[in-house]
Amino acid sequence: MKKILILSIFILNFSSTLVFSKNSLYEKIDLFGEVLENIKKEYVDDVDQAEVMDSAINGVLQSLDPYSAYMSPDLFKEMQTDTRGEFGGLGIEIGMEAGVVKVISPIDGTPAEKAGIKAGDYIVQIGEEQVQGKSLMEAVKLMRGPVGTSINLTVRRKGTKKPLEFRIIRKIIEVKSVNSEIISKEKNIGYLRLKSFNENSDNQFLESIKKFEKNKNIKGYVVDLRNNPGGLLTQAINITDFFLDDGEIVSTKGRKVSETRKFFAKQGDVIKGKPIVVLINNGSASASEILAGALKDHKRAIILGENSYGKGSVQSIIPLRNGGGMRLTISKYYLPSGKSISEVGVTPDIFVEEQDDDFKINSEKDNQLNYAIKLFNS
């Protein structure tokens, strides 16, 4: 009898909680309606109610994390349109932080990178438009345009008091994901620069390694992930697997069972245990962090450079009934150690900061790469 009584009280309390939660939610909805009505009646200028609602919806999504966002029907349609040969871009991966567009990474060899945009820059103005208050997708739309046309970006950079201005000419962004060469005076280090994780990156990467392995003099490898904004999870898993014989590579955890998975390495290290140095910086994000983090956790590589970006989440594009869409975070990445990459990133084993103002990746002034080369010869 006592058990039945306790269960009844629990159900009663649970039902009361549900009623309270629903009532609280309805009160908030009523309050939102009241705010809209006051804006309509009292605000100094005429306001488009539909635009206000779009901003409110986007505000809800962006309050979750920097990567979730709302796309109106027009914007969603435009994002799905194949614009090859007609529209160009700047070559930057961006996110939102505190209502401002933050550069995750400029892609190597693109107009943005050549102009001097750096990972961690905050874009505060696009042309004549202030970025504050705009959604991520609205900012993307402003930066897109016909190939050959220019756009002015005003940027705030940590450590620089005055805003910086860049004039960038739009181009079709075609990224070859892997560059490779043999480096060092002794010509005994294989250098692999991985710029992104696209559909064919693993094949390009493996092909480069096979060419290097034909050279019996190869002592080890530098895998350069600096300014690599990420890409496909499957590619990160495949490329990590090239260097491991077994063990977990990464796991994903979400609310749905289908989004909670673990991925393991198959037997076979393609470079047979040769040493690896992985270069990362603030522009190394997402899939780059999976590769660097897994190799670090398995003590398979030395990680050198600066702390990575900290984008450890997976987004899905969900179409909506009004013809628009939403970009929503559905799961998070976890390294073999169980640590989340989100907002933390991967910490290098050896911290080496960019030193020169004219610093350029894989140049004479690349002090990070020069340090990595010294490790092989020490």
Query: Which residues are tagged catalytic?
Result: 286, 297, 311
Judge whether 201 and 239 are in contact, CB under 8 Å: yes
Judge whether 221 and 274 are in contact, CB under 8 Å: yes
Question: Which of helix, strand or coil describes residue 51?
Answer: helix
Pairing status of strand 325-334 against strand 122-126: unpaired
Angle 252-239-88 (CA atoms, 0-180°, nearest 5)?
85
Judge whether 287 and 236 are in contact, CB under 8 Å: yes
Q: Which amino acid is at 159?
A: G
Selection from 193, 210, 219, 209 nearest residue 275 by Cα? 219
Burial class from Cβ neighbours inside 10 Å (0-12, 13-18, 19+) for residue 308 reads buried
Judge whether 245 and 268 are in contact, CB under 8 Å: yes
Q: How far apart are CA 240 and CA 221, in angstroms?
A: 14
Q: How far apart are CA 21 and CA 14, in angstroms?
A: 11
Selection from 256, 286, 253, 85 nearest residue 171 by Cα? 85
Provide the β-strand partners of residue 345.
Answer: none
Q: Which amino acid is at 7?
A: L
Strands (DSSP E) found in the chain? 69-71, 87-88, 92-97, 100-106, 122-126, 129-130, 145-146, 150-156, 164-169, 178-183, 189-194, 220-224, 248-254, 261-264, 276-280, 302-305, 313-319, 325-334, 350-351
